[in-house]
Amino acid sequence: MKIPNPVQRIKSVLPQQPGDGNSKTGYSLRFDLLALAREILSERIHIAREDKDKNCPWTYSTEDVVNEAEKLKKFLVTKD
């Protein structure tokens, strides 16, 4: 399975410049953040399996996905 370039994936979920016709709605942005969060968690599990890491959980819950998406959203809205 080919892993997508993370920088391009993050750019794809960022809102575009206002008025350029490509702006994302709030719902679309949240959906994309959830999808990206799921990809991140899946990749962590995949890497842990390859490394035979017994301390890493081998599954994730919906709550895990939402929490990861909230971290991404917080990163996006932080102006520092």
Domain ranges in the chain?
A: 27-80
Torsions phi, psi for 67 (to 5 deg): -60, -40
Full pLDDT tens readout for the chain, 80 residues? 455 565 566 556 555 555 555 677 888 889 999 999 999 999 999 888 888 877 877 889 999 999 999 999 998 888 76
Residue 18 CB-half CA count within 13 A: 0
Name the H helices within 1-80: 6-13, 26-50, 62-77
pTM of the model: 0.66
